[in-house]
Amino acid sequence: MLKSSSAGCYVALVRVLQRTIILTTTAFFAAAAFGNTLEDRLLREFHEAYPKEAPEGGSERAFELRAAPATVGQFDGRRLDVWAYEGRVPGPVLRVRLGESVRVTLTNDLPQPTTIHWHGVRVPNAMDGVPGVTQPAIPPGGSFVYRFTPKDAGTFWFHPHHRGSEQVERGLYGVLVVEDREPLPWSRDVVWILDDWLLTPEGQIDPRFNTRHDLAHDGRWGNVMTVNGSSDETLEVRAGERIRLRLVNTANGRVFAPDFSELDAKVIAVDGMYAARPLPAAGWELAPGNRLDLDVTIQPGERGRTIRIVDRFTRRPFPLATVRVLDETVPTPGFASPANPRVPRWADGLRASVAAEYRLNARAGGEHGIEWMINERAWPGHDQSPVGPFDRLEPGRWQRVRFVNESFRLHPMHVHGQFFKVIARNGAPVDEPFFRDTVLLKRQETVDVGLVPLDWGTWMLHCHIQEHAEAGMMTLIEVAPANPTER
Ligand code: C2O
Ligand code: CU
């Protein structure tokens, strides 16, 4: 009796299990057909938060950039030997409008090969400026034409991707501003390029690059901080003016934390892309590579005042720049701060599995004595082919990528050709209402991001501390479908 009843139970249980299996299988296929996996739902949330294709049919803007040694007068009139685009540090601000295409002829008159990388711009892969990957390095005396049509309006910058720790430090960088199709009536549009310089007692750029000290720390931190190449940059404004202030950190290693609490300021864009809504300007850090766009209104009560913008990243605050408010008032242009309400929330992103993981650490060895690694591999030196295999990400699908900083140093991790959104820090959900192209990892921190790769190709993923990258902290990701017939 007992036996047969337990046998009956067993049969019933098997039936239930069978039905469950059938139901689950059916549900699985239905889900695939109707696209209802977690990733499908996350992808739907992304829905054209930024476009896949560049606008067509606009006119072309042509620029010439000559990279060459130059001497500039800076830092209290002392002469400074630099490497510069068009003889200036910072290099020129290239301004185009969304819809226009860009053509830049780079002439290399440096004593080294070089390239230009368009940081944050979703360019065709062949225009990405990575030597040995997307193009051969341009030899001294050579030239190269970069052509692309920006897909996004915003604040971007450009710099060499060959011996960056030396070439960027010597002064090779500039800004690319892609204005909105219909620019808002700002009183003024201002670029502030934040950088630091390590100068010798004679006031020249210290020629020792990639030192053991730089590598064992957060790269090369300078002893002179500059905004637009000046150690006392002053912005003269009138009360009532509404200013779009574009900040770019071009330093090799230094993180800036500018304090805007004296101003009526809101953050409207991060790494070039508009945020979901205007955000309070307090507590932001700009790691190397990062940009922040601010919407600043000079209040009538600030007439005649002198406001100092101070950096607070390190324990010793230092003055970055000055805003001098003239004794004049103008009407404030009225318009809603620009925003991108389509930035997804991706609150469920943490439930998805990790598609690719990048562990960051160092070991003794290599050309510089210390190698910085991603997943136990250091990128080989200049002009050497990287060793695969590399991770592949599926274009047009939502994926979760994880960075794990196993070291005690800072690593601003940058991905070329893609934007991503931070969804967790150390496993705890984070809602940053904006995309990034560079995220700073603090000591032993884990950061999870979600992304939908739209731009196909072989893209770099690396630390933007130039010395860490130089000592190996670079890898590639392949954005291509698993099934090549989809091409
Ligand atoms: Cu601004 Cu690969 O870098
Ligand atoms: Cu690093």
What pLDDT sits at residue 11? 40
Cα distance between residue 442 and residue 421, in whole Å: 17
User: Is ligand 1 within 6 A of the CB of residue 289?
Assistant: yes
User: Is ligand 1 within 6 A of the CB of residue 235?
Assistant: no
Cα distance between residue 485 and residue 167, in whole Å: 41
What pLDDT sits at residue 31? 43
Q: What is the DSSP secondary structure assignment for residue 16, as one 8-state letter?
A: H
Distance 328 CA to ligand 1 centre (A): 42
The pTM of this model reads 0.91
Residue 380 pLDDT level (bands cut at 50, 70, 90) = confident
Contacts of 294 (CB under 8 A, 6+ apart): 243, 244, 245, 246, 247, 260, 265, 266, 267, 268, 281
Q: What is the pLDDT of residues 267-289, one digit of tens each?
A: 999 999 999 999 999 999 999 99
Q: What is the DSSP secondary structure assignment for residue 230, as one 8-state letter?
A: B
Cα distance between residue 471 and residue 377, in whole Å: 11
Q: Where are the beta strands (DSSP E) in 75-119?
A: 78-85, 93-97, 101-108, 117-119
Q: Give the mean model confidence (pLDDT) for residues 208-218.
A: 96
**SS percent in the chain: helix, strand, coil, step 5:** 15, 40, 45
- Run of H or E residues at 44: helix 38-46
Q: Which ligand is in closest contact with the Cα of 403?
A: 2
Q: Which ligand is in closest contact with the Cα of 475?
A: 1
- Strands 101-108, 60-74: pairing is parallel
User: Is ligand 1 within 6 A of the CB of residue 416?
Assistant: yes
Q: What is the pLDDT of residues 386-413, one digit of tens each?
A: 777 899 999 999 999 999 999 999 999 9
Q: What is the pLDDT of residues 454-470, one digit of tens each?
A: 999 999 999 999 999 99
Q: What is the pLDDT of residues 111-155, one digit of tens each?
A: 999 999 999 999 999 999 999 999 999 999 999 999 999 999 999
User: Is ligand 1 within 6 A of the CB of residue 162?
Assistant: no
Does CATH place domain 349-486 in 2.40.10.220? no
Which residue owns the Cα nearest ligand 1 atom 1? 119
Q: What is the pLDDT of residues 66-94, one digit of tens each?
A: 999 999 987 767 899 999 999 999 999 99
Residue 167 sits at φ, ψ, to 5 deg, of -70, -40
Does CATH place domain 60-329 in 3.30.750.80? no
Q: What is the pLDDT of residues 104-113, one digit of tens each?
A: 999 999 999 9
Q: Which CB contacts under 8 angstroms, 24+ apart, belong to 261-267?
A: 262/307, 262/308, 262/309, 263/296, 263/298, 263/307, 263/309, 263/323, 264/296, 264/297, 264/298, 264/299, 265/294, 265/295, 265/296, 265/297, 266/294, 266/295, 266/337, 267/292, 267/293, 267/294, 267/295
Distance 409 CA to ligand 2 centre (A): 7
Which residue owns the Cα nearest ligand 1 atom 3? 119
Q: Which ligand is in closest contact with the Cα of 472?
A: 2
Distance 119 CA to ligand 1 centre (A): 5
Cα distance between residue 257 and residue 234, in whole Å: 18
- pLDDT of residue 60 exceeding 80, the answer is yes
Q: What is the pLDDT of residues 351-378, one digit of tens each?
A: 999 999 999 999 999 889 999 999 999 9
Average pLDDT, the chain: 92
Q: Where are the domains of the chain?
A: 2-36, 60-329, 349-486
Cα distance between residue 169 and residue 83, in whole Å: 9
Structure tokens at 227: 């905004």
CATH topology identical between 60-329 and 349-486: yes
Q: Which ligand is in closest contact with the Cα of 463?
A: 2
Q: What are the start-end ranges of the H helices in 198-349?
A: 212-216
Q: Report the 10 Å Cβ neighbour count for 231.
A: 16
User: Is ligand 1 within 6 A of the CB of residue 409?
Assistant: no
CA atoms within 13 A on the CB side of 124: 11
Distance 153 CA to ligand 1 centre (A): 19
- In ligand 1, the atom with minimum distance to the C-alpha of 416 is 2
What pLDDT sits at residue 383? 62
Structure tokens at 257: 């934390």
